Structure 1
């Protein structure tokens, strides 16, 4: 178990221009590392977050500690130097369907060698726009069910990538929040049907199975706009006692600050699928450990490997994070047996 203070957790930020300048200083070595020199490649990325979101800014300034920063650092290790033998382009799909369509078209017009996507909705939109440009999804919870790939082992087509969780995670989240709040009679499930896998059903089956076995009532709390968040959470502050589960959902990640603030306002315990919510002051999260492995696939694709020949990879480790200060504020005493299993306890 690792205990970290806020100062210890804060990664040292590097200005992106300094980072690129540092990468350029290694340009003389890129031929030795085996990158081809015939032309400058284009690596494109589509994100559901606004470009001025804290997570986006952090991704572009911290090297190996974030997905995009780690990608750039990983490519440099493999001989690909930004501004020398490839260019990195990023666009945001935030702002609704029209913005998504425009962002995808902007990237397609660049004729990139590979496009990285960050959510299920983005992957579907890019796939609808091209059947030839290689696509690597950073997270997809049901790539076979969504029709992205033929199978995990043999994706086929022009798409591959990484999954972030399985359908059984729903039941695991319920087990964990019940350990933290053992006397709950209800569990609310927060999600946006438009942006979570199978409109929520991907996780709901296992949540409902676990709830039936433990005598807990499942109450759906769908939201479609930021204005819905307060109403969706506030009703779980009333009797009978309840806790909540946040599903894997790009809409919820974008609105994580408002969600966490609202749970504090109404004293509603909630478990989240990503550490991003913990950084915003959440109670607990259980999800995949961040592993920046996309550089491996992007490198292979830039060298000529077909995306459809690269198997979809699943997380190798999941981590449990608990914020004991938030628990105290909610009037919860987290059992020692649960604290002992935590990978990180925040104070």
Structure 2
């Protein structure tokens, strides 16, 4: 009888040990860490890049994607160099991350040249359909989805604002990067030309892909008849905004910009997608990006996530720059401004 009881105790202890083993094993195995890679044209230390990436990490952390525990990030910057961009795209794809985020159009194109399977979210693309990134805005259909930064009608809106500020302008140059501009620049040029004809204004295309050509091209707009400038959205124009604003000032050319980034350099006026809010992590772009990152990491397919467009736009006017150009800002335009720089 005692022998039987002893065996029973050993059996119970063994059974308890067996039950404990899987639990111990599970406790020792860390959850699978997801990897998200960024391919950017802007510099690592670019203030807007630093703020946006930090804000995304904060918001994703609030959703359970804690950096260093269940998710890790890799960010590569090609500084708009085509050779570096191609090499970095290959490098990122070779590491097979769970998701890739790109900055400009050329960044997205470089990744899509390397993979048709790894999920991709592009943060800026004026016309992703004509660029070949998606089949349609509603149902992208491939491994990519993301966000548009503007609409072709923005071209006429920029011209309208420019002529309100500088009604004597008769020639308007339009800067765009021919290597990345949608429809070879016509995406914005067509509506600009249509509106310009009704105002008796000539549109002058200024295709620029080499920073060394910026000053000479803008100098064409100086003198008579009075010239103005529209700077379209592109990673190239953002990266070279200091050179563009400097050349504009040197030639006393009134210019309207598509991004607020130019205003900190002394730009006259900007009208475009409102990237930032009082708290970066609550800005429209960050909220939208975080939503798609979270959905895709939880199993959603980019093919089924529609390309999203901006809901909020922002008009910023620099009165100091206006005074330097001897321009009087109409009260009606001041009343529409979301922000005025004194």
Aligned to 1:30: none
Paired position in structure 2 for 1:325: 320
CA distance in 1, matches of 2:79, 2:183: 20
> RMSD value over aligned CA atoms?
1.2
The whole-number CA distance in structure 2 between the counterparts of 1:339 and 1:274 is 18
SS at match of 1:245: strand
Match of 1:335 in 2: 330
Post-superposition shift, 1:50?
Answer: 2.6
In 2, the alpha carbon distance for the partners of 1:40 and 1:111 equals 13
Alignment match, 1:170: 155
Cα separation, partners in 2 of 1:59 and 1:250, compared to 1, 3 Å: closer
Cα 1:224–1:324 change in 2 (3 A) is: same
Which residue matches 1:137?
Answer: 122
Q: Does the CA-based 8 Å contact 1:196-1:250 persist in structure 2?
A: no
In the other structure, the counterpart of 2:92 is: 107
Distance in 1, Cα, partners of 2:182 & 2:321: 29
Residue of structure 1 aligned with 2:229, choices 235, 244, 263? 244
Query: How many angstroms apart in 2 are the aligned matches of 1:269 and 1:339?
Result: 16
Cα deviation 1:80-111 (Å, max 9, x = unaligned):
01111111100012252211111111211221
Deviations 1:23-69 (A, max 9, x none): xxxxxxxxxxxxxx7410101111111334x33xx432x3xxx3x22
Task: Note the residue ranges of structure 1 that are not aligned, 5 or more in a row.
Answer: 1-36
CA contact (8 A) 1:155 1:310 kept: yes
The aligned residue for residue 41 of structure 2 is 48
In structure 2, which of residues 190, 195, 205 is the aligned counterpart of residue 210 of structure 1?
A: 195
| 1:81 aligns to 2:77 (yes or no) | no
Preserved contact between residue 80 and residue 235 of structure 2 (Cα < 8 Å): no
Bigger Cα displacement from structure 2, 191-200 vs 123-132: 191-200
Distance in 2 (alpha carbons) for counterparts of 1:76 and 1:279: 30
TM-score by length of 2: 0.86
Inter-partner Cα distance in structure 1 for 2:115 and 2:157: 37
| Residues 148, 307 of structure 2: 8 Å contact kept | yes
Deviations 1:210-229 (A, max 9, x none): 10111101111222211101
Task: Determine whether 1:39 maps to 2:29.
Answer: no
Count of aligned pairs between the two proteins: 303
Q: Using the alignment, how far apart are the partners of 1:317 and 1:96 within structure 2?
A: 31
Alignment counterpart, residue 306 of structure 1, candidates 297, 301, 308: 301
Q: Greater CA radius of gyration, 1 or 2?
A: 2
1:143 Cα deviation after fit: 1.0
8 Å CA contact 1:120–1:197 kept in 2: the answer is no
1:192 alignment partner in structure 2: 177
Deviations 1:218-243 (A, max 9, x none): 11122221110110111211100111
**Residue equivalent to 2:243:** 258
- Contact 1:200–1:247 (CA<8 Å) still a contact in 2? no
Distance in 2 between residues matched to 1:111 and 1:40, nearest whole Å: 13
Give 3-state SS (helix, strand or coil) of 1:236's partner.
coil
Tell me, yes or no, if the aligned pair for 2:43 and 2:49 is still in contact at 8 Å: no
Following TM superposition, the consecutive aligned residue runs of length 4 or more in structure 1 with deviations greater than 6 angstroms are none
- Confirm or deny: 8 A CA contact 2:172 2:201 kept in the other structure: yes
Q: TM-score, normalised by structure 1?
A: 0.85
Partner of 1:295: 290
Please state which structure has a larger fraction of its residues in helix.
Answer: 2
Q: Are 1:119 and 2:104 matched, yes or no?
A: yes
CA offset digits 1:240-266 (Å, max 9, x no partner):
011100011211111001111111111
Q: Does the CA contact (< 8 Å) of 2:130 and 2:182 recur in 1?
A: no
Measure the CA separation in 2 of the matches of 1:219 and 1:248. 17
Is contact 1:158–1:308 with CA below 8 Å preserved after alignment? yes
Preserved CA contact (<8 Å) 1:75 1:299: yes
Deviation of 1:199 after TM superposition, in Å, equals 2.3
